[in-house]
Amino acid sequence: MRPQIFLVKENAAVFVAALALLALAFFFQPVAFIAVAAFAFVVPGWLLLKALRIELPLAARLPAVVLASVLVSTQAVYWLSLALPFGYSFASIAASFALISLLVFFVSSKEFARLASAKAWRERAREARRDAAAFAGALIVFLVFFAVLSSSLWVVAPDGSVIVGGWNYSDFFLHKGIIESVNAGNFPPQEPTFAGVSIAYHWFSDLHTAFLSKASGVPAELFARFETALYCALLFLGVYALAAAFFEKKEWCKRAAFLAAVLFVFGGSFAYLQLFDASAAVPVDA
């Protein structure tokens, strides 16, 4: 179905509100944090799904919204930063978000009305309760991964050394080098391990973390922990939704889907056998 353009006052009001939020972000750091979080994780994906009239179960809709938002926001920041004369900066990030906001004119004004509808929120609550186990499982996955990363990803030990990866190898030194290089003005970045050579690496995930940090003022390593844990939780929900779709008409559908998600996330390797030993080995006062 072809997207339709809605040039009505409701859509215009939403667009103006988005521009006002971005304008305030230039002057108030808390507003900048809210704006960058919304446009990096929620707004582009939600607008895109609504513009394309794609309806999904809630367990599948959340991963779709977040992942689409990550892809769209990162591409927008990259290409607009290359096109604008002032390059990669807070201004180009805000301009990218303003450009994304034009998607509001491809979304029916009824969808914006449903956002404020108590009836619609009750329907969403009922839908969430139907898959409550899946959302609880995703939350547990997020907390487990975030706890591990909080004690093993860029943690400064008492002796001044930096812990990256715990007992297992991690290449966050490389990723952080790219992130900090971009935010220091090296855009597009060169190889952090071989100065003067164009980067030969798929670094858009790092660009997403970079502009989150640059626009919000939050250290990149904190966002890296959050993003990694979030993607693991979304993977859990996505596998659950896919398995539930396969077994939709079976009475044991939800149990099979939940088991599939657990095995997919936690059964990929034997790394978790050393989880507790590794956690105990990391200084708690780091």
1, 49, 210 from 63: Cα distances, Å: 23, 12, 21
pTM of the model: 0.85
Average pLDDT, stretch 148-165? 82
Cα gap 269→275, rounded to integer Å? 12
Give the model confidence (pLDDT) of 219-243 as tens digits: 999 999 999 999 999 999 999 998 8
Average pLDDT, stretch 82-102? 93
Better pLDDT: 272 or 103: 103
Cα gap 245→68, rounded to integer Å? 21
The string over 99-109, giving b where at least 16 C-beta atoms fall within 10 Å of a residue's C-beta and e elsewhere, is ebbebbbbbbb
Give yes or no for residue 217 having a pLDDT over 80: yes
Helix (H) or strand (E) holding 178: helix 172-183
Q: Of 5-9, 43-47, 116-120, 181-185, where does the model show the most confidence?
A: 43-47
pLDDT class for 197, splitting at 50, 70, 90?
Answer: confident
Cα gap 239→168, rounded to integer Å? 25
Name the burial class of residue 9, with classes exposed (0-12), middle (13-18) and buried (19+) by CB atoms within 10 angstroms of its CB: exposed
pLDDT class for 278, splitting at 50, 70, 90?
Answer: low
| Distance from the first to the final alpha carbon of the chain | 54
* pLDDT on residue 286: 43
Better pLDDT: 222 or 190: 222
Cβ atoms 207, 117 nearer than 8 A: no
Give yes or no for residue 280 having a pLDDT over 80: no
* pLDDT on residue 274: 62
Give yes or no for residue 198 having a pLDDT over 50: yes
Q: Which of 14, 65, 15 is nearest to 40 (CA)?
A: 65
Domain boundaries, the chain: 1-130, 131-286
Using the Cα atoms of residue 83, residue 85, residue 89 and residue 90 in order, give the sign of their dihedral.
negative
